[in-house]
Amino acid sequence: MHERPSGEERAVIVQLDFGRDDLDEQLAEVRLLARSAGASVCAVVHGRRHSPDAATYAGKGKVLEVAAEVAAHTADLVIFNHELSAGQERNLERALACRVIDRTSLILDIFAQRAQSAEGKLQVELAQLEHLATRLVRGWTHLERQKGGIGLRGPGETQLETDRRLLGIRVRLLKERLARLERQRGVQRKARGRGELLNVSLVGYTNAGKSTLFNALTHAGVFTADRLFATLDTTTRKLWLSEAGHIVLSDTVGFIRDLPHSLVAAFHATLEATAEADLLLHVVDSASAARDDQIADVNKVLAEIGAADVPQMMVLNKLDISGLPPAVERDEYGRIRRVRVSARCGDGLPLLREALAEMALAKTLKVREQASNAAAAQDIELNFGPDGSP
């Protein structure tokens, strides 16, 4: 095993081309991920392949090139912007004589740094343990097999089997705790859903400006920074709209391309709040050249967590960079499709408040209409009986 340095780590990034046409965006994103994790990128190794190498993913020649860059820059870490198997990761560490991580491990490390709440820490630990389960190897070969006492002699367990058993116990414990928290969240959401308050969740690609917009609307003081996954835990506040009263607004974790499935599963309790919202504010970086791909990636994750059918209002953010004017865009039926704002400068925020008030009033009318219909149905049942007879 390679020790983790206590200071900033010097990293070499490996980005291979398998025929995709968004390599520049992929490279820019992994650089931001590395910076968010606390690493300093000292070199980038490019390559082109038809398919991954079974043993080292990159092939022998490319591994030698990476080793040369590691030696030249005295790097501590090699980051593959791809998903490596456990065997490929071990083979690369032996060949490069330094730690090697893949994209999933990098994202997990960032999540571990960002988690603040007890629930967030449990979710990150669960995702890390499930990822680690595929990478367990014998770490203590000198132990051979553990010997039992009198009446317990036999082959016993290998250290690897013991590690797997203890890891499995911890995973089950974490899942039980998260299930309890999920039930508690469900009760709270049902209580909110029975009222007339509009329940809105902010969603979007990481670093699109969700938390900045959340702070601009609610003055919540959520931490913001120009880095990926600056905030991780969900924050909920009431927002007063003079035209429609209060609504409930939640800031959620940002999504990203190829978000690890283990993270989606582990954060199910948090992401479920998104699936049960009345409205999703899909925040988009209007200045990003890859915004269409980012929108597609967010919608893919929303479908994965069961939120594909929740109504969306798109918010094109960062007008101060893109140069677009503030505006509200409607479809041919008069429904709001997009609102253009700058969360940092405040341009367009009054338009967004008016759009949210319009949605809140629509929900209030719907809830009152449903209550009126239910009361009328109850009166009919009391007067005529459940079978319709007088």
Binding residues for Mg(2+): 211, 231
**What is the rounded CA–CA span in Å between residue 390 and residue 381?**
9
Cβ neighbours of residue 332 closer than 8 Å, sequence gap 6 or more: none
SS3 22: coil
**What is the rounded CA–CA span in Å between residue 125 and residue 375?**
48
**What is the rounded CA–CA span in Å between residue 288 and residue 326?**
17
Cβ neighbours of residue 229 closer than 8 Å, sequence gap 6 or more: 36, 107, 110, 111, 114, 206, 253, 254, 256
Q: Do 11 and 40 form a contact (C-beta atoms < 8 A)?
A: yes
SS3 249: strand
Specify the pairing of strand 245-251 against strand 235-241: antiparallel
Q: What is the largest CA-CA distance in the chain?
A: 92
Q: Which residues are annotated as a binding site?
A: 204-211, 229-233, 251-254, 317-320, 342-344
SS3 315: strand
Q: Which residues are annotated as a binding site for GTP?
A: 204-211, 229-233, 251-254, 317-320, 342-344
**What is the rounded CA–CA span in Å between residue 318 and residue 205?**
13
Q: What are phi and psi of 87, to 5 degrees?
A: -65, -40
Burial 105-136 (b: 16+ CB within 10 A, else e): bbbbbbbbebbeeebbbbbbbbbbbbbeeeee
